[in-house]
Amino acid sequence: MSLLEVTDLRIRYVRQGRLKAALRREPRDFEAVCGVSFQLDPGQTLGLVGESGSGKSTIARTLIGLKKSSGGSIRFDGAEISDASARDWGRLRREMSMMWQDPVGSLSPRLTVKALVTEPLRINGMKASRAEAVRLLSLVGLPPEFANRYPHQLSGGQARRVGVARALALDPKLLIADEPTAGLDMSVQGEVLNLLAEVQARSGVAIVIITHNLNLVRHVTDQMAIMYLGRFVEQGPTEQIFAQPRHPYTKALLEANPEPDPEARQDYVPLSGEVPSPVNRPTGCDFHPRCVHARPDCAARVPDWTEEGARGHRCMYPL
């Protein structure tokens, strides 16, 4: 049985300034996530990829109960949690953890590292001793003396490690990492990724990684899903998608990924235009205004989701 099963998840936002929107005859709310589905087994890693504003972080916030879904189903460890009560979330958050995008900004500047990494234990009425803080710090490769430091005394990589230690304090079954390597230099990125891999191998935790870094996705994820304007446009085993992308948007992202070979040919066609607003979606396929392969009927109807073995895509004319 899958640890996490998301089916036809939909998430809406209510716009600010609703009176002005009404006077301009604009919609009062909009759908930020439009019917996404995926499964994640224990010990697996899923990468969510897409441009800023595609809905990746909105999905993460909904999975841990910080945002209410407007439709669909979220099943965690066999139980439906999309309509969970506050009491239920008190228990669920002992089994789910979040690594936030800003490693320093997510740490309270008034608390020591000891207080930060043992905070989940205190909240849940468990022993939050210095010895436990030292144990958690040792899991992420930090020496005991870091327990007395404050966030402003940490580098970006050290702050990220503290965030990992805090996320692992309750031995969760699911870890959601929002841009876990953002703002870190290459050597520190590798250390953080190796750390997550070691933790997963030791504990069997399932990981959802939200990132723009395609090199990260290729090397650490088992499955990947590419988002565009709130929808999955392609999903499946990571290696299959990298080897043969089926959706034009996926192909454009992979071709734009920096190639370390100076002799490599750079003959790809870059994406033109900007991502449309989810408030005023294009008719038909969301991607057709920017797609070099678009045909007239792409503007007429939304493509259906097409399954192809272990993978799927949303394109009427796949590559």
pLDDT digits (tens, 9 = 90+) for 110-157: 999 999 999 999 998 898 899 999 999 998 889 999 999 999 999 988
- Six-digit token pair at 100? 């936030």
Q: Which of 234, 195, 189, 233 is nearest to 215 (CA)?
A: 189
Q: Give the 3-state secondary structure percentages of the chain, helix then strand then coil, rounded to 5.
A: 35, 20, 45
Look over the chain and give the mean of its residue pLDDT values, rounded to a whole number. Answer: 89
Q: Which residues of 229-266 are buried (b: 16+ CB within 10 A; e: fewer)?
A: bbbbbbbbebebbeeebbbbbbbbbbeeeeeeeeeeee
User: What value does the CA radius of gyration of the chain take, rounded to a whole number of Å?
Assistant: 21
pLDDT at 148: 95
pLDDT at 96: 94
Q: Has residue 80 got a pLDDT over 70?
A: yes
Q: Has residue 247 got a pLDDT over 70?
A: yes
Q: Has residue 265 got a pLDDT over 70?
A: no
Domains within the chain, CATH numbers bracketed: 4-95+172-313 (3.40.50.300)
pLDDT at 195: 86
> 173-211 pLDDT, tens per residue?
999 999 888 877 877 888 888 888 888 998 899 999 999
pLDDT at 142: 93
pLDDT at 206: 96
Over range 95-107, report the average pLDDT: 89
Q: Has residue 23 got a pLDDT over 60?
A: no
- Six-digit token pair at 165? 């230690």
Least confident range from 14-18, 95-99, 276-280: namely 14-18
pLDDT at 42: 95
Contacts of 1 (CB under 8 A, 6+ apart): 78
CA distance 218 to 162: 25
Give the 3-state secondary structure of residue 222.
coil
Give the 3-state secondary structure of residue 180.
coil
Higher-pLDDT residue of 24 and 184 is: 184
Q: How confident is the model at residue 27 (pLDDT cuts 50, 70, 90)?
A: low
Q: How confident is the model at residue 22 (pLDDT cuts 50, 70, 90)?
A: low
Q: What residue has token string 């050290």?
A: 158
